[in-house]
Amino acid sequence: MAESKSYHEQVQVEQTIRLREVLKTLPPFAKDFFRAIEPKSSAKTRINYAYDIRVFFHFLMENNPTYKNYSIDQFTLGDLERLEPVDIEEYMEYLKVYIRDDELVTNGEKGLSRKMSALRSFYNYYFKRQAISRNPTLLVDMPKLHDKAIIRLDADEVALLLDFVENCGNELSGQALNYYKKTKDRDLAILTLLLGTGIRVSECVGLDLTDVDFKNNGITVTRKGGNQMVVYFGEEVEKALKHYIEGDRKAATPLSGHENALFLSTQKRRMGIQAVENMVKKYARQVTPTKKITPHKLRSTYGTSLYKETGDIYLVADVLGHKDVNTTKKHYAAIDEDRRRKAASAVKLRES
């Protein structure tokens, strides 16, 4: 009998199989690139790169007269070498708005930057190995990313959100009320955990019952890249987790293969990332309709609060699992809104 795989092992298997399917839709030589980046990237990252690079070849077949009658498996390294910087610039312009499978696709700064970064990495691999003698992507400026205000919950909004989840049943009836009663303790435990630890939604759904240690008030999470780390939590998280685990979770009978999952769906399966994202948005838009709150925004909320309380950017980086502290500095060290708000009353337009 085959040994059962953990959630993270199963995800890795599924993503590896999915990547192999996507690679079948790319030129044969592309496999060398993805094999080379395997040791330093996750399967999810490689899948995203594969999709992004596939868009590039589809662009050439649809918009470049030279490749109008090409099929994807006809492309060679020589074709990469023949392209000029202007072809890359045209592709970058194309990425802003294009049609794919009868659907309109748009890319903002972040999406544009990611797709161009994937293409540049693709070219760099073959150029460094002297498989091609020219790299036109090096002669094209990459898209500029503008800093955006960090969206997060203020302290009073955190309290409002948790209070709403606890009490909104008073405003419901019928089927909505029944669903709320079934999921209230679970949803409150998830929201409290995300807000109280800053873990990623992927780390949250991957938690097993055995990952929770109430003796030391810590959870063992599997970070990006597969590294495990213990993240500690406070009394509010402890209370919410215990209430859920000893109540609804203990009473549940999970489906086969989901017995160890900490958070279960109403179908008694391990909750997925999309389900948690939908749950967070459902509650948040009732409390802060002007802010688009996602699980990642709850992570930002935690990181901001931790930095304000401790002033220790290295602690924030460690707890959030950032490999590069500069990533943390960029997002959190610049936050000084209390000081910035003083500017509003510092300049007098008319003497009273």
pLDDT at position 242? 98
On whether both 28 and 134 belong to a single domain, the answer is yes
Residue 323 reports pLDDT greater than 90: no
Average pLDDT rounded to a whole number, residues 41-69? 94
**CATH code for the domain of 284:** 1.10.443.10
Helix (H), strand (E) at residue 97: strand 97-100
Residue that is last in its domain, among 73, 106, 139? 139
Do 211 and 268 lie in a common domain? yes
Residue 349 falls inside a structural domain: no
- Tokens 């699980």 identify what position? 295
Are 205 and 330 contained in the same domain? Answer: yes
Same domain, residue pair 27 and 90: yes
Name the average pLDDT for the chain: 91
At residue 148, the pLDDT reads 77
- Name the CA radius of gyration of the chain, rounded: 24
Whether 150 is covered by a domain: the verdict is no
Residue type, 81: E
221 close to 228: Cβ distance less than 8 angstroms? yes
Q: What average pLDDT does the segment 182-206 reach?
A: 96
DSSP state letter for 184: H
Q: Are 165 and 187 in contact (CB under 8 A)?
A: yes
Q: What is the pLDDT of residues 217-227, one digit of tens each?
A: 999 999 887 88
211 and 125 within one domain: no
| Residue 144 belongs to some domain of the structure | no
Report the percentage of the chain scoring pLDDT > 90: 75
Inside any domain, residue 350: no
pLDDT of 123 above 70: yes
pLDDT digits (tens, 9 = 90+) for 78-101: 999 999 999 999 999 999 999 888
Is residue 1 very low, low, confident or very high in pLDDT (cuts 50, 70, 90)? very low
Instruction: Give how far Cα 262 sits from Cα of 29, 169, 199, 273, Å.
Output: 42, 24, 15, 13
How much is the pTM?
Answer: 0.84
**Pair 112, 171 in one domain:** no
The per-residue pLDDT for 60 is: 97
Assess if residue 15 is contained within a domain: yes
Contacts of 277 (CB under 8 A, 6+ apart): 201, 294, 295
Distance, CA of 57 to chain centre = 26
pLDDT of residue 2: 47
| Structural domains counted in the chain | 2
Residues 128 and 189 in one domain: no
pLDDT category of residue 324 using cuts at 50, 70 and 90: confident
Same domain flag for 18 and 133:
yes
Residue 148 half-sphere exposure toward CB, CA atoms < 13 A: 8
Do 225 and 297 lie in one domain? The reply is yes
- b/e burial code for range 52-76 (CB count within 10 A of at least 16 → b): bbbbbbbbbbeeeeebeeeebeebe
Instruction: Give yes or no: residues 101 and 217 share one domain.
Output: no
Range of the domain at 256: 155-335
Q: What is the pLDDT of residue 333?
A: 60
Residue ending a domain, among 139, 168, 196, is 139
Report pLDDT digits (tens) over 4-22: 678 888 888 999 999 999 9
* pLDDT of amino acid 221: 95
